Structures are given as structure tokens and as C-alpha cells.
Structure 1
Amino acid sequence: MIIDRIIKLFLAFLLDSAFGDPVWLYHPIRIIGKWISFMEKVLRRIFPGDRSGERMAGAVLLVMVVLPAFLIPGGLLYMAGKIHPWAAWILEVFWMYQIFAMKCLKTEALKVYDALAKQDLPLARQRLSWLVGRDTENLSAEEVVKATVETVAENTTDGVVAPMVFMAVGGAPFGFAYKAINTLDSMVGYRNDRYRYFGTASARADDVVNFIPARLTGILMVIAAALCRYDVSGSWQCFLRDRNKHLSPNSAQTESACAGALGIQLGGTHDYFGKPVEKPTLGDAKRKAVPEDIRRANRLMTATSVLALILAEVLLKCFDGIG
């Protein structure tokens, strides 16, 4: 059983690394996103609009999204297995491949890099807006670089390592449950007027499920800095010093390691929905951020992800030996 999981995880990671998301197919996460939007409208009509009502509605939303995200894939895999064991096996590998997002993230980040390389700042801002929640209209070229690097660093956890951890434990159903929580956080987990209370349950659930993966990813990113011949000492020092500075308990774990590895400073105050949000700075401004840092961050993400895969495979093999 565990050997089977090892092979599936490896193949899924390999497929994502080679091909990325199959654009010809409607992605399951988009279905989850549409379900979240629909349920938000329903629950806002049912529950009162005061603080306690919105928090209750948000808790119900969390259950109504995560539970189907786990049960439906599990049920479909069970039915596929009844048809033929190989049908379930292939379906689960394909789903696990879809859950990984490393190739897609690298591709989207490079689109920003290409625009900056052509000195087309408006296009770079537009492409960045597809990746981040902050306002991008007035960002300088250096701020665009920093925002892209931050996104790559943070999503090394969200898009690769954390899903890997959950799929190593429970296959595609656990992976989809994790992505459901992550999608909830990205859609309703804001601290603005609309979601301050409605998104509380989703934001806290995301903090919980990413707590261990984020710290694991940060440590692996420091090791990856050595493999990439970046500043491993700076990465380790910034990780130790800055990893708990962020308002989120998880975001700065990888951003600090990445900032130290590249020798640039990330974070700071940014506008979200027209309002400034103060964030601490991470890393030291040893130099200005340049477009090439986007490519460097991509290499760091790849090396970190490969290390995570090796670690996951080794640990699964160890557990198989114990069993």
C-alpha cells in the first residue's frame, strides 16, 4: 500500500514537472472555487450579518466545502476500483498530478519576468495581478519583482510541499481536502470589511494545515539554497530571524528563507483593495531586486520541491519497513 503511494506521488510530481496543468481540462479546483462562491451567497442569506452570524456562516462554509472535496474523490476512486483496480490507480495518479502546481507557478512567474525583460512594466503589472491579491497598478519594476518572488516562495508550500505531505498521508482525497482549505483561504480569508469575520474559520484552518508544511519547506529551502549556490548562510540567518514576523504564522517561513538566499528584502506595506496593509520586511536589502531574481526563485522552488519529494519517499519507505 505504501509502496503504491510512493510510486503514485513520484509519477504525479514528474507529470506536473514536465507538463503542468492540462489546460484542455476543467480543473477540479475551479469547481471548488465556484462551489465556494455559490455557498457564500447562500449562507449570507441564511445567517445574520452581525459578527457571530458571519463567523458561524464561515464555519459552515468550511465544512460544506472541505467535506465534499474529500468524500467525492474518495467515492469516485472507490467506484473506479470496482470497475478495475487499474482504473482507480490511474485516476488517482492523474488527480495527484493536477493537485501539484509547481510547473504552473513557474510558468506564470516567468511571464512576469518576460514582460520585465522587455521593459513592459504595464504588462508585468497585469500578469502579476493574476498571481497576487494585492493592488499592482502602481508598483515599480522592483516591487513587481519582489511580489513575484514572494509569491513563488510562499506557494512553494501551498502549491507543492503541503499538497505532497497530505497526498503522502492520504492520497488524492487528502490532497483535495487540503486544496479546498487553501482555496477557501485565498477567496474568503481576508482581513477586510467583507471577510473579517466570515473568513475567520477558513483562514485559521489554512494556518493549521500549513503549520508543519511551511516550516518544513522553509528548512528545505535553506538546504536548497546551498544546492543552487545561493547564500545559504544568509538564508538560514534570515529564516531564524524573520520567519515569525509575518501576521500569518506560515507565510514568512519560506519568504524569509528565500529573501536571505537571494540577498534581497521582501515584505513591507502594500495596498489591498485600495487600502494599505502594513507588513514587516523580511531579509536584508544587500542589493536591489532585479528581474533575474524571479528565475532564481523558480530554481529555488524546484530544488526545494525535489528535496521534499525525496524526503517524502524516504519517510514512506521507512514507515513501510516498520509496518
Structure 2
Amino acid sequence: MPIWYDPLGLALGVALDQFLADPRSTAHPVALFGQASAKLEKSLYKDKKARGVVHVVVCVGGVTALGVLAQRVPSRAARTAVTAVATWAVLGGTTLAREGAYMADALERDDLERARARLPHLCGRDPAHLEAPELARATVESLAENTSDAVVAPLFWGAVAGVPGLLAYRAINTLDAMIGHRSPRYERFGWAAARLDDVANYLPARVTGLLTALTGPNPGRALTVLRRDGHRHPSPNAGRCEAAFAGALGVTLGGTNVYSGRTEHRPTMGEGPKPDVRDIRRAVRLTRAVSLAAAGVAVLTAWTLRRARAPH
């Protein structure tokens, strides 16, 4: 069945995310997917790459097939409604901006304990011993990377691959968050999830970098830092987002991070001082600007693809 390109459905889904955001409920579709994939992991797990490949194929293939079935509803209005709900389910832009604003408020009030307790909502860094400057850097870096993961990438795949693209991307990204990180348990089993996430985010991360430069306060500097430093991050994709944010905001990102007792020393990106508390709200504004631009580009892309496929 041909892909159903639905610019109106994407636009309505973005609007739903603005008004409803992500309800913190185990009944949320992404939470339900996570629960199902965790149960499957219990029966499939072995410390082998092949088992991880099977796990990814079943999980991602299942939700992709669900997306194909969902867009087979006969009514055009029903397909638009399905696209809108699917878009809302996979987007996290409004929640991301709210988390950034929450961190800014906590640090502006010098409430380090509240900020440390909230940081795990944004990233996997160990917050126990982080002071305000490192909490601010972690927040800005997480806002940069998650602008791609939570907004630009799902909209990209929704624009070019319809509902199946929306659901498949969110499944891939969720699996990466669950089992794609390096640890003794997931070094082999999580390999396929991590690599597939790298592939799915390759183009969206670069789109995020460009949109950040175009919508940020200093396009020239953002593009310079993006070109110069984007490849220095250990992730093939996150560095593009973080470098563009660093250039746009005039700060330096990168440094030493601790994840569950594992220490990583990452190269620095950007020019200027390390981010402080004031830079968090600037990063939140930039996240919102990039999200709005991404929504516009996605709607226009879907409209163009629909026009191109329409009979003349």
C-alpha cells in the first residue's frame, strides 16, 4: 500500500503535543511499547548480538506493521485523525521544553537537590555530586540532543514515511534508550538497537543542526562550530546537535560525564564560557524555535510529496 502523506495530520499532531504534552501514565503508547519490549527481552535475552537483532526486528517490525494497518482505514478523515494521534504519541517537544524550564527554575532558586532529582528526566548522567554549573551544562546538552530525538527525527520520518515512519522511529529510539547503552548486560544484546538508532537519526540530527543555526541568535557562528566540532562527539549524531547549540548560544559544551559509575571524557565543542544557569532558558527558547521550524518543514515536505504523487 502506498504511503499516506498527511500534512494536516502532522500539523494537528503538533498542536496536540502543544496542548497535551506527554501524560505521565503507564497507559501512554510509548510506555506500553516499553513494557511489551521488556517482557519480550526476558524471554529472548542472551549475551549475543543475534538475539538482540531478533528482539529489534520483532519490536520495530511489529509497530511498523501496526502503522501500515492503521493507515489502511478507508476514510480520508480517519487517516488524518490516525496521523494526528500517532504524531502526538511520538512527539516530546513540549515536555522537553518544560523539563528544561523546570531545571532553570530550580537552579535559579539555588535548589540543587530539586535539580539533581529532576535531571534523570533529561539524561542518564549521575547527578548526585553535580553542582550548578555541571547541572546547567547537562541540561543544555540534553536539550540539544533531545530536540532531535523528541521532535525533529519523528517529524522527519512522519513526513517521508507516514504513520509507519512515526511509529517505527519511536520504537527504535525507545529501544536504544532501554538497551542501547554500553553496559555488561547490553554490550552485545543492545548492539543492534544502538546501531539502528544511529542510522535512523543520521539525517534528522543534521537537519537539527541546520535548523538550530537558522533559528538561533548567531547563524554564522553556529554553522562554523557545527562544521568544525560536530564530528568530535563520540556519537555520530548527538555531536551535530550539541555543536550547533554551542555555536548558537556562544558557549562551550563537552567535558567529563559520569554515567552509573562509568566516566567519559568528551571533547569540547564551541567557543566561549561553559553554560551557566542563565543559558538554560536561552536553550529552552532555542529548542522551541527549532521545534516550530521542524514542524513547518515536515508539513511542507509531506504536502510536497503528496502533490508529487497525485495524478496529473
TM-score by length of 2: 0.92
How far apart, CA to CA, are the structure 2 residues paired with 1:322 and 1:116? 50
1:141 lines up with 2:132 in the alignment:
yes
* Change over 3 Å in CA distance of 1:77–1:131 after alignment to 2: same
1:4 Cα offset (Å): 6.3
Match of 1:250 in 2: 237
Per-residue CA deviation, residues 84-119 of structure 1 (Å, 9 max, x unaligned), is 654443233122112111001111121111111111
- Matches for 1:22-171 after TM superposition, within 5 Å: 22-23=23-24, 26-44=27-45, 47=46, 49=47, 54-78=48-72, 81=73, 86-171=77-162
1:130 Cα offset (Å): 2.1
1:278 Cα offset (Å): 2.1
Residue of 174, 184, 194 corresponding to 2:185:
194
* Change over 3 Å in CA distance of 1:77–1:23 after alignment to 2: farther
Between the two proteins, what is the percent identity of the paired residues? 37
1:322 lines up with 2:308 in the alignment:
yes
1:246 Cα offset (Å): 1.1
Partner of 2:58, secondary structure, is helix
Specify the code of the residue in structure 1 equivalent to 2:238.
S
1:287 Cα offset (Å): 2.6
Report if aligned partners of 1:16, 1:102 keep a CA contact under 8 Å in 2.
yes
1:278 lines up with 2:272 in the alignment:
no
How far apart, CA to CA, are the structure 1 residues paired with 2:83 and 2:306? 20
Match of 1:290 in 2: 276
Partner of 1:280, secondary structure, is coil
Report if aligned partners of 1:2, 1:316 keep a CA contact under 8 Å in 2.
no
How far apart, CA to CA, are the structure 2 residues paired with 1:24 and 1:245? 37
Match of 2:224 in 1: 237
How far apart, CA to CA, are the structure 2 residues paired with 1:293 and 1:19? 26
Residue of 295, 313, 319 corresponding to 2:299:
313
Match of 2:212 in 1: 221
1:3 Cα offset (Å): 9.4
1:75 Cα offset (Å): 2.7
Report if aligned partners of 2:5, 2:302 keep a CA contact under 8 Å in 1.
no
Report if aligned partners of 1:2, 1:317 keep a CA contact under 8 Å in 2.
no
Report if aligned partners of 1:99, 1:179 keep a CA contact under 8 Å in 2.
yes
Per-residue CA deviation, residues 233-259 of structure 1 (Å, 9 max, x unaligned), is 321111011111111100011100001
1:76 Cα offset (Å): 4.4
1:201 Cα offset (Å): 0.5
* Change over 3 Å in CA distance of 1:274–1:164 after alignment to 2: same
1:2 Cα offset (Å): 8.8
Specify the code of the residue in structure 2 equivalent to 1:74.
V
Which runs of 5 or more residues in structure 2 are unaligned? none
How far apart, CA to CA, are the structure 2 residues paired with 1:42 and 1:60? 12
How far apart, CA to CA, are the structure 1 residues paired with 2:138 and 2:64? 32
1:273 Cα offset (Å): 1.2
1:318 Cα offset (Å): 3.1
Report if aligned partners of 2:140, 2:275 keep a CA contact under 8 Å in 1.
no
* Change over 3 Å in CA distance of 1:25–1:95 after alignment to 2: farther
Report if aligned partners of 2:10, 2:158 keep a CA contact under 8 Å in 1.
yes
Partner of 1:138, secondary structure, is coil
How far apart, CA to CA, are the structure 2 residues paired with 1:86 and 1:171? 15
* Change over 3 Å in CA distance of 1:321–1:185 after alignment to 2: same
Which runs of 5 or more residues in structure 1 are unaligned? none
1:178 Cα offset (Å): 0.5
How far apart, CA to CA, are the structure 1 residues paired with 2:183 and 2:255? 18
Report if aligned partners of 1:134, 1:272 keep a CA contact under 8 Å in 2.
yes
- How many residues align structurally? 308
Q: Which has the higher contact order (CA 8 A, sep 6+)?
A: 2
TM-score by length of 1: 0.89
